[in-house]
Amino acid sequence: MQRVADLDTPSMVVDLDRLEGNIARLQASLDSLGLANRPHIKTHKIPAIGHMQVAAGAVGITCQKLGEAEIFADAGFHDILIPYNLVGAPKMERLVRLARRVKMTVAIDGGVAAQAIAAACDAAGVEVTLLIEIDTGMHRAGVQTPGEAQSLARQIADSPGVRFGGLMCFPTKPAMGDFRSEATDLLARDGIAIDQFSGGGTGSHAVSKAAGCTEHRSGTYAYNDLSVWRAGNCELDHCAMSVLVTVVSTSCPGFSTVDGGSKTFTNDALQASGMNGHVREYPEIYLEKMSEEHGVLNLSRVAEGAPRPRVGEKVRVVPNHACGTTNLHDVVYGYRVRGARPADGSLTGDEIIEVEWPVPARGKIR
Ligand SMILES: Cc1ncc(COP(=O)(O)O)c(C=O)c1O
């Protein structure tokens, strides 16, 4: 029997009760809204967790990269959405290979990507469904007007090798409702229907419903993190994932150093407040600064005489951004707390490891 407290550090650990609770809660919300669930697997990159999401009721999954889709197709997932433009010959070859064995849907926002996908699929005798991405104001990608959506939908409807499926946006914003209505009217004039409207973002599922989406893509909800908590979209107790680190120095007054830094937690969501990680065992202590392999805990809020971490002590840190952190870890340890959970969140030694999952889609940036 292995315990979290016995793990070498840094180690990514997941509280299985919380993970299961997060999966069940979102599924129940989407069911009550009548929205299909298509979780984004970028948060965990682990097929076993994807299977838990499908077992709970997800209709399919979302993968940001073909490399993730290949891993998940190998693991038995057969309905995969890639929600961004795929461009370039090597990508076309891999998309076609995937489309031969699973149902592939790709979101595009322009004629070049649509034409290339159609040509590759037509030549290979396969069909891929295309959704048109709408810019929700993030200015990352997406058509700007319903008129643009109309001409692109016409192009797709006229191209062999692809099928027009509908629309996609991220994150869903209320204005998407008006966009969808206008686009629906315009496309109806050409006899083209919007069957699928895919919205996304943890905490945005009610907005997806209001905007007329048919499905919702959440990713971070499975683990949750400090960014989701700060946005008011989860409780701290819903954060299922943390990184176990060891305190390696207490020499600098007011600070403690742990053996994980930006190569353990990522630093892509640093906060001006300096609150860059929540220490479960000491809620008043936070991860403030990171060098590559070390993190500095800020102890300024610890009361005089109150306990402080000692050198050699292990603590769990909930990161700002779960998905980026996942990409840095080879394995994840799933544990369950045996007996009562201490109110202060401290490690009791009764956190028993049930499963060790490799993270096969980590690093799949192509
Ligand atoms: C296209 C797309 N869909 C869905 C998601 C999931 O969003 P979240 O992690 O907020 O649930 C993301 C996140 O980056 C995304 O880029």
Q: Domain holding 309: CATH number? A: 2.40.37.20
Q: Is residue 364 part of a domain?
A: no
Which of 170, 196, 227, 233 for mutating ligand 1's site (highest number of atoms within 8 Å of CB)?
170
Q: How high is the pLDDT of residue 1? A: 85
Give the sheet arrangement for strand 196-200, strand by strand. 36-37, 215-217, 196-200, 162-170, 128-135, 103-108, 79-82, 61-62
Which of 45, 131, 217 for mutating ligand 1's site (highest number of atoms within 8 Å of CB)?
217
Do 21 and 54 fall into the same domain?
yes
Q: Is residue 363 part of a domain?
A: no
Q: How far is the CA of 247 from the centre of ligand 1 (A)?
A: 33
> Which ligand 1 atom is the nearest neighbour of the CA of 228?
10
Query: Which residues sit with their C-beta closer than 6 Å to ligand 1?
Result: 40, 62, 83, 170, 200-202, 217-221
**Domain-ending residue, one of 188, 222, 256:** 222
Do 43 and 135 fall into the same domain?
yes
Do 240 and 306 fall into the same domain?
yes
Q: How high is the pLDDT of residue 348? A: 82
> Which ligand 1 atom is the nearest neighbour of the CA of 200?
4
Q: How high is the pLDDT of residue 191? A: 97
Q: Is residue 365 part of a domain?
A: no
Do 171 and 234 fall into the same domain?
no
Which residue minimizes the CA distance to atom 12 of ligand 1? 201
Question: What CATH number is given to the structural domain containing 44?
Answer: 3.20.20.10
Q: Is residue 281 part of a domain?
A: yes
Segments in the chain below pLDDT 70: none
**Domain-ending residue, one of 222, 244, 263:** 222
Beta bridge partners of 230: none
Do 189 and 41 fall into the same domain?
yes
Q: How high is the pLDDT of residue 346? A: 75
Q: Is residue 139 part of a domain?
A: yes
Number of domains in the chain: 2
Do 197 and 241 fall into the same domain?
no
- 140-160: pLDDT as tens digits: 999 999 999 999 999 999 999
Which residue minimizes the CA distance to atom 15 of ligand 1? 170
Query: Domain limits at 67?
Result: 17-222
Q: How high is the pLDDT of residue 341? A: 80
Torsion sign over Cα 253, 255, 258, 264: negative
| pTM attached to this predicted model | 0.97
Q: How high is the pLDDT of residue 71? A: 98
Beta bridge partners of 200: 217
